[in-house]
Every structure is written in C-alpha cells, then in structure tokens.
Structure 1
C-alpha cells in the first residue's frame, strides 16, 4: 500500500523537549521547596499530558487535585516562556520533512501536550510543514483515544489504512492501533524498543531516514 499521510507525535519524536519541560517543572517544585527531578526521571513522566506529568512530579504527600491544578497552572506559565528555548528537532527530522513535503505526503502533529503549546512549538520550529497541529484540549480526547487522528484522516480525505502514525511511546502505538493506522515507533525518544513493540509497533526505526524507505 502507498501511504499518503503521516501523523507525528511531537515530544520525543520530532523534538527533544525534555530540558524545557523539566526546567519549567523544577522551577515550580523549587518555589514550593519540593524535591526536584533529573532529566532521566522526567523521561518517564512525559507522554500522558503535562497535567499528568505535574501529578507524577509532586510529592505523594502533596498530590491533591487542588494542588495538582495549582502547580499545573504555574508550570504552564513557566513553560510557555521557555518552551522553544532548548527544544530542538532530532537529527535528520528537518531533512525528513523536506523529503516528505517534496513527495506531497500530507503531514500532521497530534500530541498530548496542551493544544496552545503544541501549535506554538510546531509553528515556530517547523513552519510550513504541517497543515494540522493538534494538542490536548480536553482530557476525554487524550491519546490513545484515536478521535483526533481519525478526524485528521477525514480532513485529508484518506482512509486510516493509508496513514502512518509515528511516535516514541506506548501511548502513540496504542493510538495508531485504535485508529487503524500503521504504527511506527522511533527508538530515539523517551521509551524503549521493547515497550513500543509490545504496545503494537509494526516497525521501529532508528533514524529519520528509515521512514522514507517505508514510503
């Protein structure tokens, strides 16, 4: 089958955003005199949205819904200021997007990051590549719910089977399976190859250029 569209996850797939995310959260934790976390720890907090990350980062003894909401609001305020400061595309990503664009492959971003921030990062770091960039606007539509992915396929007038779904986490692979799209895992992100395959990845690539071979 000739694939005609690709939906990408953002964090851990297109960009390494770990420093900016962890930096913003650690600012909030320091202000409250709570323990901070290392980059390696944040690697396993990422993937289910920033609110979920905040919950995981807070001490168990200070993890009420009210405290999570207060810290989430503070974290978003901090992160908004620095979300493109150290966040950069992974090696080979810009070349990949140039190649895909030249082949008229339709491209979109679907992330569990807040919609406002997803759009900001996608437009600033990848101007003119993606016709759609969708982030989290309501918890009910969070990946692995395939709703937004299927809506993108409708916008493109493509069958889900004609679309690759590319991501670095178990959540991305489950989203692809739920949407009936072809799940492609990337090994350079925040999860292991084993986790990706267990979650439904039909292929795991080790560098961006390998995606061209699939097409």
Structure 2
C-alpha cells in the first residue's frame, strides 16, 4: 500500500504544549486556593481533552459538575490567550513537514483539544502545511472515536488504508486502530513506547524524519 496522506495528533506529536497547559490550569487552581501540580503530573493528564484534564487536576472533593464546569471555563479563558506563549515545535518536525510537502503527501491535524484552540496553535505554528486542522467539536466524537479521522480521510479524498496516523498516546493508537489507519507511535511525546505498542502501534519512530522510511 502506498500511503498518500499523514494525519497527525497535535500535543506531544507536533508540539510540546505542556508548559502553557500546566501554567494555565495552575493559575486557575491557585486563584481558587486549590493545590497546583508539577509539570510531570500534568503531563499525565494530557490526551483526552482539556475538560478531562481539569477534572483530573481538581481535588477529588471538588469533582462535581458545577465545579468542573466553572474551572474548565476559567481554564479555557486563560489558555485561549496564552496557548502559544511557550509551546514549541519539536526538533525535526518542520524538516519532516517540508519533506512531506515536497513529495505531495497531504497532511492534516486531529486533536482532542478544543477546535478553536487546535486551529489557533496549528495555523500559527504551521501556516503552510496542513489541508485540514481539526480539534474537538463535541464530546461524542472525541478520540478514540474514529468519526473525525474518517471524516478527514473523506475530505482529503483518500481511503483510510492510505493514511498514516501519527501520535504519541494510547488514545492516538486506539483512534488509528478504530479508523483502520496505519498507527505510528512517536517516542518524543507524553507517553512511553511500551504504552504505544500495547495499544496497537504498528511502527514506532524515535525522530520525525524516521517517518519517511514508511513512505
């Protein structure tokens, strides 16, 4: 099978957004006299969307719907204005995107981050590469639900079997598997290699340019 497109996760795959995410949720927690968390701890909260992250960051005694919604809205307000302050592109990513573009490989982004924020980060840091940049539009279609990935494949005009799905988490590998795309796990993100393999990674790459070998 000749792969004709690549679908990328965003956080932990294309960009390291940990510091901006952590700073935003910690500012909200601190403002409400609640315990804050280290970057290492918040790293483990990333992957299922910001609402889930906020829920995990709250003390168990505060995890009712009213509190979750209040802190989620505060987090979104802060993060919306600060989501590109310290978020950086991983080494080798720009070179990979240039190579894929030169080979006429179509590219897209799919994230569990809110659609508005995914577009802001994706189009700010990568203005010239992606045909589609899509974030979370509803909880019902959150990854590992394959609906959005399949929608992107249809919009690109390729079958799911012609698409490489590249991500750094168990959620990404599950999404690729559920969509019948080829699952590629990256080791520079937020989750270990063992977790990616356990969740169905068909290939593991240690540097962005390693992806070219699969083409």
Question: Shorter-chain TM-score: which interval?
Answer: over 0.9
> What is the SS of the residue equivalent to 1:209?
helix
* Structure 1: distance between partners of 2:34 and 2:26: 9
TM-score computed with the length of structure 1 as normaliser: 0.99
Cα deviation for residue 156 of structure 1 reads 1.5
* Structure 2: distance between partners of 1:141 and 1:37: 29
* Structure 2: distance between partners of 1:210 and 1:124: 25
* Structure 1: distance between partners of 2:174 and 2:147: 12
Residue in structure 2 matched with residue 21 of structure 1 by the alignment: 21
* Structure 1: distance between partners of 2:42 and 2:125: 22
* Structure 2: distance between partners of 1:170 and 1:161: 20
Residue in structure 2 matched with residue 74 of structure 1 by the alignment: 74
Residue in structure 2 matched with residue 195 of structure 1 by the alignment: 195
- What are the within-5 Å matches in structure 2 for residues 9-88 of structure 1? 9-88=9-88
Residue in structure 1 matched with residue 183 of structure 2 by the alignment: 183
The alignment's C-alpha RMSD in Å is 0.5
Cα deviation for residue 129 of structure 1 reads 0.7
* Count of matched residue positions in the alignment of Structure 1 and Structure 2: 215
- What are the within-5 Å matches in structure 2 for residues 124-163 of structure 1? 124-163=124-163
Structure 1: gaps of 5 or more residues: none
> What is the SS of the residue equivalent to 1:120?
helix
> What is the SS of the residue equivalent to 1:183?
strand
Cα deviation for residue 15 of structure 1 reads 0.1
Cα deviation for residue 163 of structure 1 reads 0.2
> What is the SS of the residue equivalent to 1:190?
coil
Runs of 4+ with deviation above 2 angstroms: none
1:113 aligns with 2:117: no
Deviations 1:19-38 (A, max 9, x none): 00000000000001100000
* Structure 1: distance between partners of 2:33 and 2:83: 23
TM-score computed with the length of structure 2 as normaliser: 0.99
Cα deviation for residue 146 of structure 1 reads 0.5
Structure 2: gaps of 5 or more residues: none
Cα deviation for residue 157 of structure 1 reads 1.5
* Structure 1: distance between partners of 2:62 and 2:150: 38
